[in-house]
Amino acid sequence: MKTFELWPAVDLIDGKVVRLFQGDFNQKKSYEVDLETLLSTFNTFATGIHIVDLEGAKMGSPKNIEMLKKIKALTSLPIQFGGGIRNRISIETVLSSGADRVILSTQVAESPTILKEYLKIFDKTEIVVSVDVKDSKVMTRGWTQASDFSLNEFLSLIQELGITKTIITNINSDGTLGGVKESLYRKVKKIFPELYILAAGGVGSIADIERLQEIGIAGVVFGKAFYEKRITEKELNQFKNVS
């Protein structure tokens, strides 16, 4: 069995670790964490670290680059970083600041063919496209605007353009701890069997992660369940050992 990837999330606003409820900035919860201790814990079980610059996503350009550099200095784990990356310069800045791959979303949904240009400049392993879904529509601009694409239309298009790695977030579930939408990922895996897919949104227990593994996708992004101790380090270590 392939190793199932575990990507704990570090969502940032003003350099602080937070979580939103269904992407709503008015429903923000901050977590007082010691960054060095947190990253040391991640080192025991994580495949990599998923960083989201929430301010960047809202404002259109990365705002937490210094935090990215700080995290990079404290861990040897791979880092994927997203939030407001909407041009080549931002991609270069994020990669040169310590990220191993960038997460693109809004710009790709609004101008998909830009991927052709980016894939001439950057290796495809450095680019992940985040597909953020609410009520079957792909959302953009920090989850505040609906695009013209359905999920399957968008996945077909980016795959044709050469993208091999995606993160699919079910916005309706994100930050709720209410459980993952298994049917969504089962359908996508069946239609796009070769696509690398990380699932995000709704993870509330280790059982949710186990169910996602059974579907056969690449891995999972999770945050709130870990910060609120719904999922423990011990569970994640055991999970990784049997993956």
Instruction: Tell me if residue 59 falls in helix, strand or coil.
Output: helix
Whole-angstrom distance, CA of residue 227 vs CA of residue 80: 19
Burial 181-214 (b: 16+ CB within 10 A, else e): beebbbebbeebeebebbbbbbbbebebbebbbe
| Residues that are catalytic | 11, 132
DSSP letter assigned to residue 126:
G
Whole-angstrom distance, CA of residue 188 vs CA of residue 234: 31
| Amino acid found at 18 | V
Among 67, 105, 100, 63, residue whose Cα is nearest residue 86? 105
